[in-house]
Structure 1
Amino acid sequence: MDLDDLRAELDEYAKPEKKQTLSAKEQRIVAGFEDIQRFYDEHKRIPQHGESGDIFERLYATRLDRLRALPECAELLTPLDHQGILNGTAESGASDAVSSVREEPPGYGNDESSSPSDDELLAELGEIAGGSLTELKHVRSAAQKREVDEVAKRETCEDFDDFQPIFERVEREIKNGLRVTRRFKEDASIERTNLFILGGQIAYVAEVGETIKAPNGDNDARLRVIYSNGTESNILRRSLIRALYKDDTGRRVTEPDAGPLFSDQWGDEDVESGTIYVLRSQSDHPTVASHRDLIHKIGVTGGRVEARIANAENDATYLLAKVDIVATYKLAGINRTKLENLLHRLFAPAQLDLTIPDRFGKQVKPREWFLVPLNVIDDAVERVRSERIEGVVYDPATAELIDTH
């Protein structure tokens, strides 16, 4: 075997040439051409010039002119051009597209002096978009997406009936001024039974899980949060803090504040003298009939109690039945709205759980009836008169008022 034969045989075992890597410029050229290919796959035609096309199509059409005009681009892209875009043999609408390219309007030919540059088209596109295309103004970070997902992961609260009275009471207390809402601060704490407003919904922290360590080393905990729209989530405490802080309408709902019950000066909702009244229903509802001596309606009025109850049998608030006045207490210099809210909150653990149809068949749940003995109500009023009501709670198990101080 001579040297030529040996070389020929060895060539068969020669190592294949390494695949040529693309420069940054070549990568940009390929990426730009792939945009054009995607446009063709979607619209079944080559991008065209003219005002009838959107800015992206005009951009792709100008780019395609450049790629066709530069031999080095054609050499680089021809192996990738399986649709025949560069040489005008593209299928499915190719003839119309090629004709459109050949019959371009004045100013859009292959003459670089007349064609708008990519930069010019990008600048025009930037004006339409309201800024530079390189500025990701509306692209959320991964952390922001996680926060939004965390807040959005809510499911139906199966035991919402247990929490609905809380939301109804809170709404009344906010309306009556017993509670207020305050702007949430980033470093604010979140504890069990706290109430917030997030995304237009009242949020109640029903449970706080065990303390865990966040990735940054801070303490965190998994919460069970119930929302006033009947949903719940198991959001992390720190995620809820961030969501409340970033929500322009995010608020903390304060604890009830009875405020000054007695005063020498009265506002629009204050009266010089008010009457606490206690009523007993004549309803024949089985629950009421079997506990008639224990079930009482407690209220405060600035007028005559008799006038207030004149139409009781037609009002679901009075259980659609006549009522008996079993006790009245006159008080001077009292804010009756705050006093009534205070008494209702005091006896809330013994609130009557009863739903009845009103005159139109709609189910209603009267809120001002309580399973409380009359002597306990007497005790509560006496504590109000002597201003010793602060820190007092009612224990339904023992039917007694308990001083927590």
Structure 2
Amino acid sequence: MVKEFTSDDDALLAELGVEVETKKAISRTPREERIIAGFEEIQRFTEEQGRQPRHDESGDIFERLYAVRLDRIREVQECRDLVEPLDHQGLLSGSISTLPADTDDLDDDALLAELGIEVDAPPITELQHVRSTAEKKAAQDIANRDRCEDFDTFKPLFEQVQKELNSGLRETRPFEMKAEIEKGRFFIVSGQKAYVAEKGETTINDQGRTDARLRVIFDNGTESNMLMRSLQRALNKDEAGRRITEPTAGPLFSDQTIDGDEASGTIYVLRSKSDHPLVADNRELVHKIGVTNMSVEKRIAGAHLQPTFLMANVEVVATYELYNINRTKLENLIHRIFEPTRLEIEILDRFGRPVVPREWFFVPLFVIKEAVERIKDGTIARYVYDPQNAQLVKRSI
């Protein structure tokens, strides 16, 4: 016996992340259903916007997705025949759009990937992917935007955030929880920066969960009056969804973390087990110094297949945890310190192509440890590395 769900049931199950399949009056294959559902989304867009979707790089990611999808449906006769009875807007009669110049060299899968569309199957079967109810609701909330009349007020904020990202004062990291959504914070969703300009009174929804009405400004000059949970869903469903951190000037390292500290990653120091003569003859001196935001064990997994690890397994000889620091900026600093002793070695990757790894240095481990201490106490700017004597020395004034 199949239970028929009401619209209220559907909404509750959607909140719980459960997809509900309703019984179809007409028997169609799952693939046909996906194609029709994809075409219906294009129809809704056309009805709401008063025009067909366009390949506009400055436009919304969903419009670009719909434009690609419509072109594919027009190209494949099987798809045209399936949706033609539904085409009351004349969408199939249009010509195939000209794609942006920078996508001319991309194949179908690469193009869809550029647009953020996951490709696990041939393009025509995957591009009609049917999203869950929660995904559709989040996408609709994000896509339904109005022109921001006072965008001139917010434009300098977006420009400043970009400068701070470029300088390393801010960084992006995966979105994790609803509590991160607060007034004054920045996010990246659907490929655009989003700023929470206003947050209304917190309420309790029918499912007993907290929510609040937001005014969200996007960097393309649009805004949306969405619910906090809608933004949360959009960020969770978007694999590229990110939180832009606040500017920090905290310590590089700390023996103990305090409330508000954000883990940044780990400095790792490795020795190679390569049998390359240059490495084998200097194994105690040749070290790779890097910074990662994942576990070191995960970072070095499959080292023998990666040119950056000299196509050989490695030994972890030291690690240092980081808090509230830009990883890339720190890694560049460490590499500049030891630049005079960078290992010049060319190896072949597993395809036989020559590669010159850039993170290996001729430097004793005790000097690396000293450099970390100098970074930790803020005095590293006073020192340079003297390779002749294998030590850090104070800069001459």
Q: Same fold (TM over 0.5)?
A: no
- Greater C-alpha Rg: 1
TM-score range, shorter chain: 0.3 to 0.5
